[in-house]
Amino acid sequence: MRSPRPRFARPSLVVTAALALAAVAGCGGGSSTDGGGSAAAPGGAFTPPKIETLKSLGPGEGQVNLVAWAGYAEDGSNDPKVDWVHPFEKATGCTVNTKTAGTSDEMVNLMKTGEYDAVSASGDASLRLIASGTVAPVNTDLVPNYKDVFEGLKLKPWNSVNGVAYGIPHGRGANLLMWRTDTVNPAPDSWGVVFDPASPYKGKVTAYDSPIYIADAALYLMSARPELGIKDPYALDETQLKAAVDLLKQQKQNIGEYWSDYTKAVQSFKSGDTAVGTTWQVIANLVEADKAPVQTTLPKEGSTGWSDTWMVAAQAKHPNCAYKWLDWIISPTANAQVAEWFGEAPANAKACEQTSDKSFCDTYHATDEEYFSKVHYWTTPIAQCLDGRTDVKCTDYSEWTRAWTEIKG
């Protein structure tokens, strides 16, 4: 059985480095809040604390301490066949100590203790770690497998600053639109099907039970109501948030249930209680495995999604073993294993030849940059607009949370 981590846990109100985050996303250095240690440069980029990169790789230190999402460092204890930790230990002599974190907040706090060498950070944690000087830039020359990572994942705003890589991409996935082919006709190609007030599938629509789902509504409004001027679904001002909230309140009339636990989504699609709604690829696979007639698509508006990055601590006590782990986790075999276990697209292009299911990479669109160009990876909304606007204040995640409570009534 696959065991995706509870994704509802990942978004979090952050924001030790909110200023930095905003700046990275292209927000001009207009805000003069003197909060973080990193100041926004006039050009809009932000300057992280100067931290030396590892120049050359030495012998392993005998162990490495990781902070990881559940399912990212499997040692066979969940399923004896799912084990890429022991082979690593055997090959490198580095014993792996894994601390599983449940939320991005927890990851940041754990990394700040200085006890850990590497972390699998999500988009809403990675920049905080960079700006606070908790993680060091990664010398990608010391990670041989990095050359095989998909170009679409390299040097992205959530894993690099000013063209300097701060981590190694691990994998990615999109939130998809799924429907039961026996009840939903014609096959939808737009999120409109879950937002239509006169939906014929009243009571059988599902949605993700988390404030971050507001971004899905915002994404739909980007094309459905262009006059709102939404450019980034994670950067909403008051008016835009209200429009998204109104849309979701209206959607609630047609909702059968919200889901945050993936097993719940699997079961309700299987039983037919849910006919259409947002989903993950892994859920779709599990439902299909049970012979339920479902189909998924990446709607024409695009979708929300996630992308994770392995980063090395600035104060790592075992940097050599940490680099060896980074290289190992994106090596074709291990990357294929973790991608299949977790249910996401691998980062390494060569991993596609190593998957036990030969069509795995096609199913997860691993090589399809066109597909992922439509994915807006999860980021924590903060007061400084992530889309670069400086004339308005955007709504932050705590406002989103209250709005979500209001939507659910």
Partner 1 sequence: MTTLTTTAASPGMRRRAASFLHRHAGVRLSLLLSAPLAWLGLAYLGALAALLVTAFWSTDVFTGDVVKVFTWANFTDLVTGEVYRTVALRSIGVAAAVTLIDLVVAFPMAFAMAKLASPRAQRWLVIAVLTPLWASYLVKAYAWRVMLSSDGVLGWGYGLTATVVTLSYLWLPYMILPIYAGLERLPNSLLDAAGDLGARPWRTFRTVVWPLTFPAAVAGSIFTFSLSLGDYITVKIVGGKTQLIGNVVYDNIGAANNLPFAAAVATVPVVIMLVYLAAVRRTGALENL
Contact 255, 205 (CB under 8 A): yes
Residues β-bridged to residue 266: none
Would you list the DSSP string of 155-181?
T-TTTEETTEE-SEEEEEEEEEEEEET
- Selected from 35, 43, 62, 197, the binder of partner 1 by CB under 8 A is 35
Is 4 a binding residue for partner 1 by CB under 8 A? The answer is: no
CB atoms near residue 238 (< 10 Å): 12
CB of 23 to partner 1, least distance (A): 14
Of 165, 210, 160, nearest to 45 by C-alpha is 160
Per CB under 8 A, the segment of 3-11, 70-78, 92-100, 139-147 that binds partner 1 is 3-11
- Selected from 4, 137, 167, 211, the binder of partner 1 by CB under 8 A is 211
99: amino acid identity, one letter: K
SS3 assignment, position 59:
coil
- Quick one: three-class SS letters along 212-224? HHHHHHHHHHHHH
Is 250 a binding residue for partner 1 by CB under 8 A? The answer is: no
- Selected from 75, 89, 257, 368, the binder of partner 1 by CB under 8 A is 257
- Selected from 38, 65, 92, 103, the binder of partner 1 by CB under 8 A is 103
Contact 218, 245 (CB under 8 A): no
Is 116 a binding residue for partner 1 by CB under 8 A? The answer is: no
Of 176, 45, 124, nearest to 308 by C-alpha is 124
- Selected from 9, 224, 228, 349, the binder of partner 1 by CB under 8 A is 9
Contact 297, 176 (CB under 8 A): yes
- Selected from 5, 15, 23, 241, the binder of partner 1 by CB under 8 A is 15
Of 146, 145, 108, 72, nearest to 342 by C-alpha is 72
CB of 108 to partner 1, least distance (A): 10
Instruction: Using alpha carbons, list the distances in angstroms from residue 13 to 84, 158, 382.
Output: 33, 16, 8
- Selected from 268, 296, 337, 379, the binder of partner 1 by CB under 8 A is 268
- Of residues 109 and 162, the one with the C-beta less far from partner 1: 109
Is 60 a binding residue for partner 1 by CB under 8 A? The answer is: no
Is 404 a binding residue for partner 1 by CB under 8 A? The answer is: yes
- Selected from 117, 124, 209, 308, the binder of partner 1 by CB under 8 A is 209
Is 272 a binding residue for partner 1 by CB under 8 A? The answer is: yes
CA angle 218, 223, 226 (to 5 degrees): 90
Binding footprint of partner 1, residue count (CB under 8 A): 43
- Selected from 4, 5, 7, 18, the binder of partner 1 by CB under 8 A is 18
Is 409 a binding residue for partner 1 by CB under 8 A? The answer is: yes
H/E run at residue 136: strand 135-136
- Of residues 15 and 82, the one with the C-beta less far from partner 1: 15
Q: Which residues bind partner 1 (CB under 8 A)?
A: 8-9, 11-16, 18-19, 33, 35, 103, 105, 209-211, 252, 255-258, 260-261, 264, 267-268, 271-273, 382-383, 396-398, 400-402, 404-406, 408-409
